[in-house]
Structure 1
Amino acid sequence: MDKLKRQITEHGVVVSDQVLKLDALLNHQIDPQLTMEMGRQFAERFRDSEVTRVVTVESSGIAVAFATAYELGVPLVFARRKKTLLAEPDMLCERVPSFTKGIVTDILISREFLSPDDRVLFIDDIIANGDAARGLVKIIERSGAELVGAGIVVEKCFQPGASSLREQGVRLESLVRIASLADGRITFAD
């Protein structure tokens, strides 16, 4: 997606050789037209997978996951990062570290929203070390649903997250792949 690359180049802030801040595009402010185009791209790539639900992790993945679910005509389920007073005691839960937040949190999905009949597409904004993604994969597996693939807006190729999912046999499609953030510059892989 050339437009996405241009937006990342123009608005992305290289914080370090490991961290890219995309607040102007994905994590704080959202471009609705670009987000809907990203959803169309993921829907097109996974249209033949008979997806019944799109799943993401709260909160930065929600906008793109919504656009994808809308294009596929299926529900969106997002894993919560905090247990609420209304949460049932038997939720699917996995403890995961957050690369950008520097903390460990629980991600939770109600059992009523994932079943063994579901074919799930996981959508997220960025994959770095892949801890949240691996945690969500475990939740999907415990629900009995089938993970048909993962769509990631930005894959940081120099960190192990995407490759570890691929090694598990997960079909992973990225819209943009970043090879390096060295010297304060964004270098795309393709």
Structure 2
Amino acid sequence: MDILKERILREASVINSDVLKLDALLNHQVDPELTMEMGKEFARRFAEKSITKVITVESSGIPVAFATALALNVPLVFARRKKTLIADQDALTERVPSFTKGIVTDIMVSKQFLRPEDHVLFIDDIIANGDAARGLIKIIERSGAKLAGLGIVVEKSFQAGAGTIREQGIVVESLVKVASLEGGIIRFE
């Protein structure tokens, strides 16, 4: 997606050689028009996969996952990062570290929203080491649902995350692949 690359070059900030700040596009402010285009692109790429639900991890993945679910005309499910008083006590839970937040959290999905008959498309905003993605993939597997693939807005291909998921035989479609952030310069594959 050339428009996404252009916007990243114009509006993203390189924090260091590992961290790309996408607050103006994905993580703090959301451009609805661009987000809808990203959702349509993921829907196009996975159109033949008989998707019944789109899934993501709260919170930054929600806008693009919503746009994708809307384009596919299926429900959106998101893994919560915090348990609440009304949370399903029998939820599927996995402990995952967050690369950008520097913390470990539990993610959870209620069994009522992820069923063995589901074919799910996992959408996320950015992948670095892939810990959260691997955690949600484990939840999907334990639910009995079928994972149709993983759609990533920005893949940092210089980090291992997407590669380790591809090694599991999972289809990973990235809208943009960042090859390097060295020297404060964003380089795409």
In structure 1, the residue matched to 2:41 is 41
In structure 1, the residue matched to 2:132 is 132
Contiguous gaps of at least 5 residues in structure 2: none
Distance in 2, matches of 1:169 and 1:92, equals 23
Is residue 82 from structure 1 mapped to residue 82 from structure 2 by the alignment? yes
In structure 2, the residue matched to 1:63 is 63
Distance in 2, matches of 1:152 and 1:59, equals 14
Residue identity in the other structure for 2:47: R
Distance in 2, matches of 1:48 and 1:71, equals 13
Distance in 2, matches of 1:115 and 1:32, equals 30
Is residue 175 from structure 1 mapped to residue 181 from structure 2 by the alignment? no
In structure 1, the residue matched to 2:145 is 145
Report the number of matched residues: 189
In structure 2, the residue matched to 1:112 is 112
Quote the sequence identity (%): 69
Contiguous gaps of at least 5 residues in structure 1: none
Q: Which runs of 4+ in 1 moved over 6 A?
A: none
Deviation at 1:184, TM superposition (A): 0.2
Deviations 1:119-146 (A, max 9, x none): 0000000000000000000000000000
Distance in 2, matches of 1:90 and 1:117, equals 19
Distance in 2, matches of 1:187 and 1:87, equals 42
Residue identity in the other structure for 2:178: I
In structure 1, the residue matched to 2:92 is 92
In structure 1, the residue matched to 2:159 is 159
Give secondary structure in 1 for the equivalent of 2:8: helix
In structure 2, the residue matched to 1:123 is 123
Give secondary structure in 2 for the equivalent of 1:169: coil
Deviations 1:56-88 (A, max 9, x none): 000000000000000000000000000000012
Give secondary structure in 2 for the equivalent of 1:41: helix
Deviation at 1:181, TM superposition (A): 0.1
Give secondary structure in 2 for the equivalent of 1:69: helix
Deviation at 1:17, TM superposition (A): 0.1
In structure 2, the residue matched to 1:102 is 102
Give secondary structure in 2 for the equivalent of 1:96: strand
Give secondary structure in 2 for the equivalent of 1:164: helix
RMSD over aligned Cα, in angstroms? 0.3
